[in-house]
Amino acid sequence: MFRQLPLTLIILSTLVAAGCHDEHQPIHHSRFLAFGTLVDLDIVGADRKTAEQASAAIQADFNDMHQAWHAWDPGPLKRVNLLIQKGEQFAVPPSVQPLIEQSSLLSAQSNHLFNPAIGHLIDLWGFQKSPEQWEPPQQEAIDKLLSANPRMSDLQLDDILLQSSNPSVKLDFGAFGKGYGIDLAIEHLRELGIHSAILNSGGDLRAIGNRDGRPWRIAIRRPSGHGVFAMIEVDGDESVFTSGDYERNFTYEGRLYHHIVDPRTGYPATKSHSVTVIHQNAATADAAATALFIAGPDEWHEVAQAMGIKFVLLVGSDDRIHMNPAMQKRVILVDKNHQEIVVSKPL
């Protein structure tokens, strides 16, 4: 369900913290595995005992969320997907209901480019299997799922009762669950009295507060997946999420296929190399990064407006860089490499 990704974002402050201690505000760093990727947590200003207890609590939270939201391992979401196919009304588990509610809204705002209902299509591409098994599915199988047109709007949620009018719906929150989980974890940190921290899961992150009065500095990798492409500073409470075609992919008969599937075609989206968005809410940023990647250079602006995204950096498949004026003021392009930069009208 959740993407096993190389780090899309490099947290420069983490590297500094590993080598020295701030004499005013200590930084406590911890790392654990969750959602199939490494999670890094930096906590600023707390004493060691508080930081260690908070890190343990967040790790436990992530483990619980992974179990609850996994699309094919036994758990609440798998049970929901089995019951959806029956077409009968049933009580949705409380661990899954908020994801359905929020992702349904985001899906509608994105004109269904972000579509967690296409779990069967995701399964068909087989990225949950080992890489040596990756190959394009049969066109007939893709066409069958496209004709069924599963969408979040096929779900009817009445209080806690859920029913689907389309048995082809299978929920897969791989492009949303991690962001939603980060939001919950940040809330938990604040409940524990921590107000400056950065939580980075597989390269996607949310940062609150700052580093002893200094912004968190985020480096974005090149669309190739190697080296630094741009820098962004984050201060206060913001999430930075990136989707890219270099994250999980394979080449078959000379053509590159990656894991971000366009629900309109049934094939991996072809118009973008990477998209980075900034938004306060990590779940929204997670969903938007996927939707804007699929939208590509021609449609991203309209989709970003509908989803309430104010900061976008998109690298098209032709390597041209697209961004809105607000993002242009914040981003520092480290490696311009003579690429054409296209600045849109304001969002």
Q: Which DSSP helix (H) or strand (E) runs through 141? A: helix 139-148
Burial label, 325 (beta-carbon count in 10 A; 0-12, 13-18, 19+): exposed
Joined together, the tokens standing for residue 46 give 């707390």
Burial class (CB in 10 A: 0-12, 13-18, 19+), 182: buried
- 267 token code pair: 């094939």
CA distance linking residue 89 with residue 228, whole number of Å = 50
Scanning the structure block, which residue is given the tokens 């409940």? 191
Instruction: Tell me the binding residues for Mg(2+).
Output: 175, 286, 290
Q: List, in order, residues 6 or more apart from 179 with CB less than 8 Å away.
A: 204, 239, 241, 281, 282, 283, 284, 285, 286, 287
Report the binding-site residues.
175, 286, 290
**CA distances for 305 relative to 189, 238, 292, 322, angstroms:** 31, 18, 11, 15
- C-alpha to C-alpha distances, 292 to 209, 272, 276, 313, 324, nearest whole angstrom: 28, 9, 9, 10, 13
Q: Which two tokens stand for residue 277?
A: 């968005």
DSSP state of 133: G
